[in-house]
Structure 1
Amino acid sequence: MTDRTHGARLLPWAGPDGKRCYLVTDGTGYLSRLADDIESVQLGMAAELLGHAADMLADRRVTTGQLRYLLARMSEALTDVHRIAESRGARLPATDGAHLGTAGDAVL
């Protein structure tokens, strides 16, 4: 059997006192699947907020209080999305950088 452990995974939720939670696993266990499901929900909620924000910004009757509430929810969603991106980026295979271009180049 091969060892599939890729290091610690940053989980999509905070631990006690708001500290980061990590999971060391092969990526196939219950907590890994739970983390995948929670990330999916968080990304879906962020997408819905973007749509809601577009609607609110197009409505001239929106109040300052409504915009502040939206901004607070979007800040929470951006925090979640940032954590997901950081977690997924950390799990990408390492590269030697030889194929990377210079600033302004697209890397595919």
Structure 2
Amino acid sequence: MTPNNELRLLPWSGPDGKPCFLSSDDDNSLLSRLADNAEENQLGSGAAVLAHALEALTDADADPDELRLLATDLTRALQDAIRVATSRGRRLPYPARRAPEGHGPRVPAPPG
């Protein structure tokens, strides 16, 4: 099971749009690997949409309908990235999740 006995937020929603969770002691289970692959695909797709957006924003003659579609794709990619980050963040060891507001995870001081 994930650290702190938390359920894993899966990178897809149920038919009603509600989040899906996984309870497993095996991070290498079939469903865990499927979720890992889905997350990687979502992040890869997001990177591709971002690259397309960077190109489109430099085109002064970009079609408004194409830009609207691009905004929709960027929104979906951002939602996916936030879901992946949330899922992975919940699986971090407990102390790293309690960083002060506005700061990154706590990193232990180097030995010595």
1:96 shift after superposition:
7.8
User: Relative to 1, partners in 2 of residues 1:93 and 1:33: Cα closer, same or farther, differing over 3 Å?
Assistant: same
CA contact (8 A) 2:7 2:22 kept: yes
Gaps of at least 5 residues in structure 1 are none
What secondary structure is seen at the aligned counterpart in 2 of 1:95? helix
Q: Which residue number corresponds to residue 79 of structure 1? A: 79
CA RMSD, Structure 1 to Structure 2 (Å): 2.4
Gaps of at least 5 residues in structure 2 are 108-112
User: Relative to 1, partners in 2 of residues 1:22 and 1:96: Cα closer, same or farther, differing over 3 Å?
Assistant: closer
Matches within 5 A, 1:1-108: 5-6=1-2, 7-26=6-25, 27-95=27-95, 107-108=106-107
What secondary structure is seen at the aligned counterpart in 1 of 2:21? strand
Structure 1 distance, partners of 2:66, 2:84, is 27
User: Relative to 1, partners in 2 of residues 1:64 and 1:79: Cα closer, same or farther, differing over 3 Å?
Assistant: same
TM-score normalised to structure 2 length: 0.82
1:13 shift after superposition:
0.3
Structure 1 distance, partners of 2:79, 2:36, is 16
1:83 shift after superposition:
0.4
Identity across the alignment (%)? 42
1:64 shift after superposition:
1.1
TM-score normalised to structure 1 length: 0.85
User: Relative to 1, partners in 2 of residues 1:35 and 1:65: Cα closer, same or farther, differing over 3 Å?
Assistant: same
